Amino acid sequence: MRKYAVALLLSALVLSLSGCGKQKETSVDQNQTESQSSSMEQDSSQTQNVSPEQSSSVLFSAAEENSPDSAADSENADASQSDFSDRSASSNDVASTEEKSQNDSNFSFSDLKNLQFCFSSGAGGWATLMMIDADGSFSGEYTDSDMGDTGDGYPNGTLYQCIFEGNFTVPEKIDEYTYSMQIDKIDWEKEADSQEIKDGTLYQYTTPYGLEDAKNILLYLPGTPLAEIPEECKSWISTALFGTSGTELPFYVLYNENMQCGFSSYSIAESFEETLAYIEDTAASLEDSIENDPLTQAEYNEKTLELYELWDSALNTLWDTLKQTLDAETMNTLTAEQKDWITKKESEVEKSGAEFEGGSMQPMIQNSTAAEMTKDRVYELKELYL
């Protein structure tokens, strides 16, 4: 797996994205400016005592976003938000698109299941991420930020963002490794060049970087000889190719010919596996220190809290992965189950520290219980759904 994909997913451990708004259907802006370097912020609460109110707060928020109650609430949200009513083509058009694509030799959009396409330089945090469904519809987000670009009312900097979705036309086969398609429709939530201040951050809404003026998009299949891929495209996917050997493309690539922008693909599930491997190594080091190092009680409390937060971050990253790979019905069912699990965990954490209530060991006992239960939940969900 390519290193930049791991870095992008690791950033989800400490970053969250926000932004819903009024949809604007429009043609792609041809005057997209260069993006600034990016970072994304996520608020967190650091304490040494894991209480029922504090534990898994991030995940609970994520669960709320996918719950049926949350869906009902969103219908009554601020008028600036949109439900993307024109999101996909009619059912007949979708069926026709899938049938034609399936019949066109050896590629269909369903081959792209659980893959994410990334347009990024690899040097800096900005990126356009996109997923493509079996019917040819797609959705994604462009983000970039400049935390040093502050002003009156936005001391936390500036975030550039475009949340978008649309549909591709039926791919036409060019040769054994290459297909051609166009963007049939594309919408984004917020009007380009509009802005607003939220939570001390200036949100500057843009067009989807990399998809501007996309008159023709080429899809290169894995196995495409690298020599046949345009140099402009290879320059964009060079980071993804780093560390690979051979003369053939090891993943899918989308290439916006007109703007000479290349998107490389990676498996969302495999990327989480790499993130999990990193977390396991870090956790093992912490556990070794807890078990073997001569620590003060304050240090035990601190290290067990760090261990819990590590597994809580893993669980939130896995949850984000599941939201991208599971269908809506399964995700709604899982969300309800997750709420029950959170309630149970908080109860068990409180019980575990009851014997030491008010004592210096209470945080250590509660942190350890929370860490163990959260770790078990990570592996349980991974086994069931990835």
Specify if 218 maps to a domain.
yes
| Residues 134 and 105 grouped into a single domain | yes
For the stretch 155-171, pLDDT in tens is 999 999 999 999 999 99
Residues 367 and 230 in one domain: no
Does some domain include residue 15? yes
- pTM greater than 0.75 (yes/no): no
Residue 20: is its pLDDT beyond 70?
no
For residues 262 and 118, membership in a common domain is answered with yes
Residue 54 lies in a domain: no
- The reply to whether 68 falls in a domain is no
Across 104-118, 192-206, 310-324, least confident range = 104-118
CA distance linking residue 302 with residue 49, whole number of Å: 10
| Same-domain pairing of 176 and 314 | no
| Same domain for 349 and 299 | yes
Same domain, 231 and 337: no
Give the model confidence (pLDDT) of 56-80 as tens digits: 433 443 344 443 343 334 444 343 3
Neighbours of 195 (CB within 10 A): 15
Q: Which of 43-47, 153-157, 338-342, 368-372 has the lowest mean pLDDT?
A: 43-47
Kindly state the helix (H) or strand (E) to which residue 313 belongs, with its residue range.
helix 297-325
| 129 and 12 together in one domain | yes
Q: How much is the pLDDT for 152?
A: 95
Are 253 and 264 in contact by the 8 Å Cβ rule? The answer is yes
| Bridge partner residues of 261 (DSSP) | 256
* CA-derived radius of gyration, the chain: 23
Which of 236, 267, 298 terminates a domain? The answer is 267
DSSP summary character for residue 32: P
pLDDT over threshold 60, residue 377: yes
Are 250 and 129 within one domain? Answer: yes
Model confidence at 197: pLDDT above 70: yes
Q: Which of 238, 267, 296 is the last residue of a domain?
A: 267
pLDDT bracket for residue 378 (50, 70, 90): very high
135, pLDDT greater than 80: yes
Amino acid letter, 369: T
Tell the burial category of 340 from Cβ atoms under 10 Å away from its Cβ (0-12, 13-18, 19+): exposed
Task: Report pLDDT digits (tens) over 235-274.
Answer: 999 999 988 888 999 999 999 999 999 999 999 999 999 9
Question: Where does the pLDDT of residue 214 fall: very low under 50, low under 70, confident under 90, or very high at 90 and above?
Answer: very high
Q: What is the mean pLDDT of the chain?
A: 80
DSSP state of 119: E
In a domain, 308, yes or no: yes
First-to-final CA distance of the chain:
17
Which of 243, 267, 291 is where one domain is finished?
267
**Strand (E) or helix (H) holding 72:** helix 68-75
In the three-class reduction of DSSP (H, G, I as helix; E, B as strand; rest coil), residue 364 is classed as helix
Read off the pLDDT band of 5 (50, 70, 90).
very low
Same-domain check for residues 291 and 359:
yes
Considering only 25-39, 203-217, 292-306, which range has the smallest mean pLDDT? 25-39
pLDDT category, 104, cuts 50, 70, 90?
very low
Cα–Cα dist 68/335, whole Å: 9
Instruction: Find the mean pLDDT for residues 320-339.
Output: 93
Same domain assignment for residues 228 and 287? no
Residues 253 and 277 in one domain: no
> How long is the chain?
386
Give 357's contacts (C-beta < 8 A, 6+ positions apart). Answer: none
For residue 48, give the nearest of 297, 374, 265, 236 by alpha carbon. 297
Per the structure, the count of domains in the chain is 2
Alpha-helical (H) ranges within 225-327 are 231-241, 268-292, 297-325
DSSP H or E segment with residue 92: helix 91-103
Span 102-112, mean pLDDT? 75
Checking if the pLDDT of 142 tops 70, the result is yes
Residues in a beta bridge with 187:
25, 165
Is residue 235 located within the same domain as residue 381? Answer: no
Three-state DSSP class for residue 94: helix
> What stretches of the chain adopt beta strand conformation (E)?
24-25, 115-119, 127-132, 137-146, 158-168, 172-173, 178-181, 183-188, 195-198, 201-205, 217-220, 253-256, 261-267
pLDDT score of 63: 41
Q: Containing domain of residue 261, as a range?
A: 3-38+77-267
Q: Is 327 within the bounds of a domain?
A: yes
